[in-house]
Structure 1
Amino acid sequence: MPPRAPASSRISLLVSDIDGTLINGHKEVTPATLAAIAKLREAGVRLCLVSSRSVRGMQMYMHAIGNDTPSAGLNGGEIVDAGGTVLETQSLDADVARLTVETLTTNHVDAWAFTGREWLIRDIAAPYVPRERKAVQFEPTVVDSFEPYIDRIGKIMGATTDYPLLERMEIELQTMLGDRVSSRRSSPWYLDVTHPLANKGRAAHRLAALLGVDPSEMACIGDMDNDISMLSTASLSVAMGNAPEQVAASAHFLTGTNEQDGWAEAVETLILPRAAGRAVGET
């Protein structure tokens, strides 16, 4: 990684990933996290959520935290205001979507497609379908082909139990399609392929702009490869303790894991001391 500027001493906005970060392994927002969110509000620090999930799949967490800010789903492929009105979308080019599906399928990786409100699958018995149903709390639509939806796909997700294969697919698709896609794993078993402008780094900066927050006052926190684009550009960035080495290397700070209330720890020790322009160490 190139040398990083020192972390900002003034934070007005925290942009947070959800899975593996804001929530624990049981997909819960813990009491400690809710308490930390309340302290952020008291300190005047805004909180925005950005996720590889569709906005529809983020809804339960928006409600849980009393969301009052814009949010970004599909790694930035859809951005909505606090009321859920869509402000912008980024869809894959049709030929790119076809080639991505073909490449994943040829390599025996299940391909799913997301169009905003819809989660499209071709095999209801695929290994990770039950897990995703529980996570997003809505049902997939089973289709014979993605072709009727091909010009409005915001994200293609590859899912497999073969983690090394998925890591290779991440690199292969990015190399093959170049600047026409953003290819990043959101977990060891999920690979997200989105429009190149649908990445969390750009999404975080768009959310800051919508709130009128200067990027120099934006902090970001996350745990996976698809979070690197925001962690590496944030004025203060925090990697979760459960983050892989390459993700941790992209951040200013490392906190506890999502099973150890690491999110709340980061807020208490790193964000709140910098709220409202207070320098670290001030009372």
Structure 2
Amino acid sequence: MKIKHIFTDMDGILLDSHGALSDTNHWSIYYSELPITLVSARSPLEMSDVVEKLQLSTPQIAFNGNLTFTQNQFGLQILDKNTLNSETVFQILDYVSNEFPKVSLNWYSLAHWYTNKQDKGTFIQKALTGLEPRIKTFDGQSEIYKIMMIVFDQNELRQLQNQLNQLEIPNVAIQQSGQWYLEITSDKRTKANAVQSILNDEALDFTQIAAIGDGHNDISLLLQIGRSAFELAISKEIKQLAIKSEFILQR
């Protein structure tokens, strides 16, 4: 069946290790006749430059499926959103700050990136995105879509994830996104759910699209695809996790 829409992750797929869009990817997508949707853990603020460069008018997916939007010269049009409960944000930020003080702790509203301190993690994010965080404590006044923790020790990352899971906080999804990143969003949406909503609007199904992804947070989407495209560098770990879920990744 002919492919009618492409859905692609950004980091490690569309963007290089420095967060840059290569000329090859830029012009390949710019001149593509197919509609293209970015499906990312990033905030729309971190996606904006790429959406603008590629002149994408289709719906875009941020925060692991919990925000769907379009972008034009007037700003963003929100099509679907799911935020974290403010009490939940207070609870998680307080817990991580006290129990894992060395972890780089960040949280995101629609328009801003916040952190409680500058550290190695925030400097890396600044280099990748070209953005500056606002340093402040959470005051409950902003709608928060994502809490992101950057952990450079894999054992500590696993321990952090296990302890957060043991808290059994309702209505949240806790998942790894990349080697160093642990992210918390609403559990109301996944990347797959968000893609399905777009397909419903376009009267398409998963057999008519190509999906490109290589991260833990892409598995929900990849499991739904009948025909997929994957970069050659897709990690063995993601293949193994997908195979355990009774889905075989084919190149």
TM-score, normalisation: structure 2: 0.85
Q: Are 1:120 and 2:114 counterparts?
A: yes
Residue 30 of structure 1: aligned partner: 22
CA distance in 2, matches of 1:78, 1:138: 20
CA distance in 1, matches of 2:134, 2:78: 22
Residue 264 of structure 1: aligned partner: none
The aligned runs of 1:164-243 (5 Å cut-off) are 164-177=155-168, 180-243=171-234
Structure 2 runs not aligned, ≥5 long: 243-247
Whether the 8 Å contact between 2:30 and 2:55 is mirrored in structure 1 is: no
Evaluate the alpha carbon distance shift between residue 117 and residue 230 of structure 1 in structure 2; reply closer, same or farther with a 3 A threshold. same
**What fraction of aligned residue pairs are identical, expressed as a percent?**
21
The aligned runs of 1:57-136 (5 Å cut-off) are 57-83=46-72, 84-105=76-97, 106-108=99-101, 109-124=103-118, 126-136=119-129
- Over the residues paired in the alignment, what is the CA RMSD in angstroms? 2.2
Residue 53 of structure 1: aligned partner: 42
Which amino acid counterpart does residue 169 of structure 1 have in structure 2?
A: L
Structure 1 runs not aligned, ≥5 long: 1-8, 255-283
CA distance in 1, matches of 2:96, 2:227: 35
1:173 Cα offset (Å): 2.7
Evaluate the alpha carbon distance shift between residue 253 and residue 104 of structure 1 in structure 2; reply closer, same or farther with a 3 A threshold. farther
TM-score, normalisation: structure 1: 0.76
SS at match of 1:182: strand
RCO higher in 1 or 2 (8 Å CA, sep ≥ 6)? 1
Q: Deviations over 1:97-124 (max 9, x none)?
A: 2332233221232221101111111102
